[in-house]
Amino acid sequence: MIWAFLIVKYFGSSFMGIIRFRILCILALVADGKAFSFFAGKIPNGENVPHPCKPNYLWKGVGHMSKDGGGSRNQFGVDFFNNGKVSTTYVPIVVTSE
Q: How far apart are CA 72 and CA 81, in angstroms?
A: 12
Q: Greater confidence, 87 or 59? A: 59
- Check residue 95 and give its pLDDT: 65
C-alpha torsion angle, residues 29, 66, 87, 38 (rounded to 10): -10
Q: How far apart are CA 31 and CA 28, in angstroms?
A: 5
Q: Where are the domains of the chain?
A: 1-33, 36-98
Percent of the chain with pLDDT over 90: 0
Q: How far apart are CA 23 and CA 59, in angstroms?
A: 30
- Check residue 32 and give its pLDDT: 46
User: Do the Cβ atoms of 50 and 59 come closer than 8 Å?
Assistant: yes
pTM of the model: 0.51
DSSP state of 88: -
Residues 18-64: pLDDT tens digits? 777 777 767 665 544 444 677 777 787 888 888 888 888 888 888 88
